[in-house]
Amino acid sequence: MSESALNKRQIAIIPIAAQTASGDIDGLKVSLNKGLDAGLTVNEIKEILVQMYAYTGFPRSLNGLGAFMGVLQERKEKGIKDEIGKEASALPADYDSLQDGTANQTQLIGVEVKGPLFDFAPAIDQYLKAHLFGDIFARDVLSWQDRELATIAALANLKGAGSQLGSHYAISMHNGLTEPQIRAFIEVLRQTIDEQTATDAAQVFDQVLAARR
pLDDT at 213: 83
CATH number, domain 3-86+141-212: 1.20.1290.10
With contact defined as beta carbons under 8 Å apart, do 176 and 145 qualify? yes
Q: What is the pTM of this model?
A: 0.94
Q: What is the pLDDT of residues 35-58, one digit of tens each?
A: 999 999 999 999 999 999 999 999
With contact defined as beta carbons under 8 Å apart, do 185 and 6 qualify? yes
Say yes or no to pLDDT of 32 above 70: yes
| Residue 27 exposure: Cα atoms within 13 Å on the Cβ side | 17
Question: How many angstroms separate the CA atoms of 141 and 137, rounded?
Answer: 9
Say yes or no to pLDDT of 3 above 50: no
